[in-house]
Amino acid sequence: MKILATDLDRTLLPNGKWEGDGGAIELFNALTEKHDVLVVYVTGRNLKLTEDAIREYGVRHPHVLIGDVGTTIRKYEQGGWRFDEGWVTHVKRVSPRWDAARIKEAVFDVDGIKEQGSEHLNQFKQSYYVEHDRNDEILKRIDTLVKGRFDEVIVYSFDSVDNKGLLDFLPNSATKQTALEYVAEEFGAEKGQVVFCGDSGNDIFPLTAGFCGVLVKNADEQLVKNVKAVMDKNPNLKAYFARGDCKGLNGYYTSGVIEGAYHYGIFQ
């Protein structure tokens, strides 16, 4: 079993400020089909936004969609999506203190955050926009109100294209990392058989969880520093930093995903 998992925005999708390679998406589609790879998208996008991306950029449908920053899992079968109810049961069992409504109440008066629209929220995801230039102050305040009370993780990332700080409260059992571990176990794959590709702050967990990590060439500088810091403490951690020297590709976005897949032998 070979699993290639990848974030979407500015990882597989060329929607950042860097110039992507023409034809890279078509090559990704062809290579994953040729080499019989199980494709998993691991994204902050909800289902509608994921389908929008598939139509807009021409990327293939994945076999598995880990959406909403790891809080939902769907399988693509016979031309349609099947929601994984087992994942919901698992999260509720492992994170019994999780309560999105109580988290919302706890941070209601925090200055500098704004709740995201309902389409970006679900039973396991409470999300906000953050004034990025004040993020240290805001996150310290939030820690005092929330941290450790709700079986939660607090994930902060920065969207450099839209210049927005993004804050997600998630159950500690429903992150990009834990959802990918759940999928890998379901398909009988060990972590060393799973390649995960990312570019930004909320990819730090799966990139440092024991999978074969890939950081595309346009990865956020802070993410690169954080991953390297973890590697210094754990020499067994596998993380590959795309350079742009594979098959004539420049290493940005889709090309970095392809380069990483070749590096780990997903593509021969």
Condensed to tens digits (0 to 9), the pLDDT of residues 209-261 reads: 999 999 999 999 999 999 999 999 999 999 999 999 999 999 999 999 999 99
Residue 74 is predicted with a pLDDT of 98
CA distance 223 to 257: 16
Residue 28 is predicted with a pLDDT of 98
CA distance 71 to 212: 22
Residue 130 is predicted with a pLDDT of 97
- Structure tokens of 130? 């953050």
In the predicted structure, residue 265 carries a pLDDT above the cut 80: yes
Task: Using the structure block, give the residue that is written with the tokens 């799966």.
Answer: 206
Task: Using the structure block, give the residue that is written with the tokens 């699993």.
Answer: 3
CA distance 214 to 212: 7
CA distance 187 to 22: 33
The DSSP call for residue 80 is E
Residue 158 is predicted with a pLDDT of 85
In the predicted structure, residue 68 carries a pLDDT above the cut 80: yes
Residue 162 is predicted with a pLDDT of 76
Condensed to tens digits (0 to 9), the pLDDT of residues 2-60 reads: 999 999 999 999 999 999 999 999 999 999 999 999 999 999 999 999 999 999 999 99
Does domain 3-89+174-263 match CATH 3.40.50.1000? Answer: yes
Condensed to tens digits (0 to 9), the pLDDT of residues 149-202 reads: 999 999 998 887 778 899 999 999 999 999 999 999 999 999 999 999 999 888
Residue 157 is predicted with a pLDDT of 86
The domain ranges of the chain are: 3-89+174-263, 96-171
CA distance 81 to 79: 7
Residue 268 is predicted with a pLDDT of 87
Residue 1 is predicted with a pLDDT of 83
> What's the average model confidence in pLDDT over 86-106?
98
Condensed to tens digits (0 to 9), the pLDDT of residues 202-217 reads: 899 999 999 999 999 9
Residue 160 is predicted with a pLDDT of 74
CATH code assigned to 96-171: 3.90.1070.10
Query: What average pLDDT does the chain have?
Result: 96
> What's the average model confidence in pLDDT over 81-106?
98
Residue 267 is predicted with a pLDDT of 96
